[in-house]
Structure 1
Amino acid sequence: MQVLEEVRAIEFSDGGLLVKTLTSDEELRESYRLRHRVFAERLKWVPESSDRLEVDSYDPYSSTVGLFDEEQCLRGVFRMVSAAHPFMLEHEFRPCLLPGCEIRKEADTVEITRLALDPSLMDKGLSIRYMQVLYKGVYQWCLQNEARFLYMVVEKRFLRVLRGMGFTCDPISPAVSLPPAEALSIAAVLDWNRFEETCPQKQPEFFRWINMAMGQTTFEKSSFLALDPKVRVSRDGMQERQPIRLEANRKLVAA
Structure 2
Amino acid sequence: MGNFYSLTLDGLSLDLVSDAQMEAYLMRFRHRIFREALGWVPVSPSGMDRDEYDALSHNLAVSWRGSVVGSMRFTPGERPYMLESDFAQLLCDGDFIRKGRGSAEVSRFAVDASLPADLRAAASRLLYLGLWQWAEWNDVRWMYFVVVPGMYRRLQSLGLPVHPMGGLRPLDGGVMSMAGYFDWHAVDMDAIHSLRESVALSDACPERWREYDYSH
Q: Cα distance, 1:30 vs. partner?
A: 1.0
The answer for the alignment partner of 2:121 in structure 1 is: 128
The answer for the alignment partner of 1:214 in structure 2 is: 201
What is the CA RMSD across the aligned residues, in angstroms? Answer: 2.1
The answer as to 2:146 corresponding to 1:173 is no
Structure number, greater radius of gyration = 1
The answer as to 2:159 corresponding to 1:156 is no
Q: Distance in 1 between matches of 2:62 and 2:17?
A: 10
Question: Does the 8 A contact of 2:58 with 2:75 survive in 1?
Answer: yes
Q: Distance in 2 between matches of 1:168 and 1:131?
A: 17
Question: Does the 8 A contact of 1:110 with 1:151 survive in 2?
Answer: yes
Question: Does the 8 A contact of 1:10 with 1:140 survive in 2?
Answer: no
Q: Cα distance, 1:61 vs. partner?
A: 1.3
One-letter code of the match for 2:67?
C
Q: Distance in 1 between matches of 2:150 and 2:28?
A: 26
Aligned residues: 216
Which runs of 5 or more residues in structure 1 are unaligned? 1-5, 234-238, 244-255
Q: Cα distance, 1:106 vs. partner?
A: 2.5
The answer for the alignment partner of 1:73 in structure 2 is: 67
Q: Distance in 2 between matches of 1:107 and 1:204?
A: 23
Instruction: Summarize the alignment of residues 167-246 of structure 1 with structure 2, pairs less than 5 Å apart.
Output: 167-178=160-171, 180-195=172-187, 198-200=188-190, 203=191, 205-206=193-194, 209=197, 213-217=200-204, 219-220=205-206, 225-226=207-208, 231-233=209-211, 240=213
Greater RCO, CA 8 A, separation 6+: 2
| 1:229-254 Cα shifts (integer Å, max 9, x gaps) | xx243xxxxx62677xxxxxxxxxxx
Question: Does the 8 A contact of 2:201 with 2:210 survive in 1?
Answer: no
Give me the TM-score of the superposition, normalised by structure 2.
0.90
Give me the TM-score of the superposition, normalised by structure 1.
0.77
Aligned sequence identity (%): 27
The answer as to 2:93 corresponding to 1:99 is yes
Q: Cα distance, 1:72 vs. partner?
A: 3.1
The answer for the alignment partner of 2:50 in structure 1 is: 55
